[in-house]
Structure 1
Amino acid sequence: MKILQIPTGGLFSDGILSCIVEYMTAMDKSGMEIQVLATNNPEKSVVEKVENSGCRVVSIPFPYRKKNIVKYFLALYKYISKEKIDVVHVHGSSAIMSVELVAARLAGCKVRIAHSHNTTCENQRADRILRPLFNRSYTTAFVCGQDAGRWMFGKRKFTIIPNGRNLKKYEYDSKKRIEYRNKLGIASDALVIGHVGRFNRQKNHEYLVRVFSEVYKKKRNSYLVLVGTGEKVDEIKTLVKELELQNNVIFTGVIENVSDYLSAFDVMLLPSLYEGLPLVVIEWQIAGLPCIVSDTVTKECAITSLVKFESVKKEPEVWANEVVNLILQDRNDSKEIIFNEIKTAGYDIESGAERLKKIYLKLVS
């Protein structure tokens, strides 16, 4: 069985790729050949991450979807036809997934999965125009949660594929807490706020920095650690300098072992303008971290009592007060309770990967 995974936004260290890699790493891939299409020029570390999961990164003669969608469509159609792909699994957040799904249909692929990872999209006009075509081009609907399903498929049938995680990988480790605070140059008694995500409009980094500015006024021994990169990183660095916070805001860039750094943090903030079901919030809860999340984010991400929702329409000081007034628990003591809650919610990757393989086999047969 040949499966082609297509993250429509390209191969980046983002939530969608993380979802693919986690499932493929945990899955028994006997009898399967799984390929992941690069629609960009991915970094070497990203390619290695995919290959380490047991998948092969592939490209087509014209991979740049955004530059010339017609050339991309034709190249993809030819590739799927030539390789005789059994399953095309497309990951995205809008009806623009029609491009890949129609190419697969014309190439003779019988199983075409549309996987919704968000609750809205950037290009709403194109989404509206392509909806009728989209609804006729997929054979199976996957979603990360109920809200993402309603956004993408309405009242049509869909299957929830939880964004599962390896619980042991993300669990709190007191030794790592000391080690990674030392790496960051942060004292053991400091308050450390974390965020993981691409620097783009959706993640709302400007608001996040202004929240930290208010926290810093109240508690000088505090730090903000921003993990990731993106088009707005220089703009945010400029804002940090303007607010004279450069000694207390740390930009790590892209790091491959984010799970290790989570032990060093005390609280996580996610003031996103919108999200599907954010993988990072699942990871943060596994690590036992309190999370303050924008109320525009689906409530489905709160699979434990660690998540609190707040509005980004409120002044940053409101969020800052929430952070400063948090009563931090011993994360070792609460670990077993948290793990049981996460397993009950269906986010253990081992059982999730076994279930997904059974779905693939059933669809093809």
Structure 2
Amino acid sequence: MSEPIRILHVLTAMNLAGTETLLMNLYRNIDRSKIQFDFAVTTNKKCAYDDEIESLGGKIIHYPLYRGVNHLSYVSWWNKFFQEHEEYHIIHGHIGSTAAIYLHVAKKYGRYTIAHSHSTYGPLNLHTVLYKTFSYPTRYIADYFLGCSRDALVERYGKQILRKDNVRVLNNGIDAKKYVFTEEKRMMIRDELQLSPDDVIIGTVGRLTPQKNPFFIIQIIKELNRRNVKFKFLWVGTGELKEKVTSNLKKEIANHQVIMAGTRNDINDVLQAMDIFVFPSVFEGLGIAAVEAQAAGLCTLCSDTIPREVKVTATCEFLPIRDVSTWCDRIEQIIQSREYLNRINRYAEIVTADYDIHKTVEWLSDFYQSHF
């Protein structure tokens, strides 16, 4: 029996985040007798998915973090790596800032290179300018370009990219069957989190970072309280703003009203416990959490700054990013009309929209094998 094709995915760390979760969904469902994933990461810390990766036959490789001043040693590391590891014919790059470096080195050794954009740039600041500057050459280096949306492709590689043949929007597929709403799962999570069956639960899933707009969410909570709307808020995720967010919540909002659930590896189940999902991101490459929320049958309210491809069912709406009052008006309307109770099976809609992981895996498997 021949050895499987080994694909090297280049990232920062395999923790619980959008890109990493997509890769794990792909990895779990791909035929690993034909295709194996290995992961190159910069962190030396153990990550959330490391044990599962190794249990599935994958390897975790540690490469140096690029700091600018270590440019020569960084390039030297990749040269040595590709000299010593001929088993990697396909290099799938998910780190855009240094893709122009490591993909360029990979091509020098005859490897097939993929640049994958998972996000847009967001607000213009020094970090964004530097990121754009470093990532710009990638459009002239990679053999193939993937993006989670048209916006993610255009912002990273320019408008001309959509006219080329070596490009595709690869939908961030989910295992849609696992998100189908059931009352049993709903009550199981509510019992765990000590939530009443009758509580109206508004929720979100996302890292506590400026991109996800957590302080806008706090404004929503405060305004709904001012209006005497009865609800609780379930917040899933952690990140750099955790201390500031929790401190703000303690000052302004009753302890029992907001449940900070931290990171969870059972998002498909946790979504069952919610009634309304809010997703006011400042920017997104796509916003897979909103697709997951729709798969769970939730009323899903998204900011008007994220790609429209995220709307895959009739339950998704876009609201102005800076208007707290409009968000609260809509939430109040949903609660008063009790439309949040209309949790029907959305599986067929997710599949029709090509967001089921099995379709994504089918295409990607064929793609890898055709370029080996």
Structure 2-normalised TM-score?
0.89
Mapped partners of 2:295, 2:218: distance in 1: 25
Question: Is 1:105 paired with 2:113?
Answer: no
Task: Classify 1:358/1:233 alpha carbon distance in 2 versus 1 (closer, same or farther; 3 Å).
Answer: same
Query: 8 Å contact 1:10–1:38 — kept in the other structure?
Result: yes
Distance apart, 1:67 and its partner CA: 8.1
* Counterpart selection for 2:140 from 116, 120, 136: 136
Query: 8 Å contact 1:80–1:109 — kept in the other structure?
Result: no
* Counterpart selection for 1:74 from 70, 73, 76: 76
**Per-residue deviation, residues 254-300 of structure 1 (Å, max 9, x unmatched):** 11112111110001111111001111111111100111111111111
Distance apart, 1:331 and its partner CA: 4.6
Mapped partners of 2:54, 2:195: distance in 1: 34
What amino acid is the match of 2:24? V
Distance apart, 1:31 and its partner CA: 2.9
Query: 8 Å contact 1:36–1:55 — kept in the other structure?
Result: no
What amino acid is the match of 1:155? Q
Q: Secondary structure at the match of 1:33?
A: strand
Mapped partners of 1:81, 1:30: distance in 2: 25
Mapped partners of 1:324, 1:174: distance in 2: 23
Q: Secondary structure at the match of 2:283?
A: coil
Partner of 2:92: 89
Q: Secondary structure at the match of 2:306?
A: coil
Out of 235-244 and 146-155, give the one that drifted further. Answer: 146-155
Task: Classify 1:43/1:198 alpha carbon distance in 2 versus 1 (closer, same or farther; 3 Å).
Answer: farther
Task: Classify 1:231/1:362 alpha carbon distance in 2 versus 1 (closer, same or farther; 3 Å).
Answer: same
Q: Unpaired segments of 5 or more residues in structure 1?
A: none
Q: Secondary structure at the match of 2:48?
A: helix
* Counterpart selection for 1:223 from 210, 232, 245: 232
Query: 8 Å contact 1:310–1:319 — kept in the other structure?
Result: yes
Query: 8 Å contact 2:320–2:326 — kept in the other structure?
Result: no
Question: Is 1:119 paired with 2:123?
Answer: no
* Counterpart selection for 1:155 from 160, 164, 187: 160
Question: Is 1:250 paired with 2:259?
Answer: yes
Query: 8 Å contact 1:276–1:297 — kept in the other structure?
Result: yes
Mapped partners of 1:266, 1:73: distance in 2: 50
Q: How does 1:175-324 map to 2 (within 5 A)?
A: 175-219=184-228, 221-314=230-323, 316-324=324-332
Task: Classify 1:204/1:55 alpha carbon distance in 2 versus 1 (closer, same or farther; 3 Å).
Answer: farther
Mapped partners of 1:124, 1:286: distance in 2: 32
Q: Secondary structure at the match of 1:45?
A: coil
Query: 8 Å contact 2:209–2:239 — kept in the other structure?
Result: yes
**Per-residue deviation, residues 109-138 of structure 1 (Å, max 9, x unmatched):** 421000011122573322443355212221
Distance apart, 1:351 and its partner CA: 2.1
**Per-residue deviation, residues 301-326 of structure 1 (Å, max 9, x unmatched):** 00111111111221x23212211211
Partner of 2:28: 25
Query: 8 Å contact 1:268–1:291 — kept in the other structure?
Result: yes
Q: Unpaired segments of 5 or more residues in structure 2?
A: none
Query: 8 Å contact 2:135–2:156 — kept in the other structure?
Result: no
The Cα RMSD (Å) is: 2.0
Mapped partners of 2:7, 2:140: distance in 1: 21
Distance apart, 1:75 and its partner CA: 2.1
Structure 1-normalised TM-score?
0.91
Distance apart, 1:148 and its partner CA: 1.3
Task: Classify 1:147/1:55 alpha carbon distance in 2 versus 1 (closer, same or farther; 3 Å).
Answer: farther
Question: Is 1:173 paired with 2:190?
Answer: no
* Counterpart selection for 2:348 from 340, 343, 357: 340
* Counterpart selection for 2:51 from 39, 48, 51: 48
Q: Secondary structure at the match of 1:246?
A: coil
Question: Is 1:145 paired with 2:154?
Answer: no
Distance apart, 1:81 and its partner CA: 2.6
Distance apart, 1:252 and its partner CA: 1.1
Q: Secondary structure at the match of 2:360?
A: helix
Q: Secondary structure at the match of 1:325?
A: helix
Task: Classify 1:223/1:27 alpha carbon distance in 2 versus 1 (closer, same or farther; 3 Å).
Answer: same
Query: 8 Å contact 1:74–1:103 — kept in the other structure?
Result: no
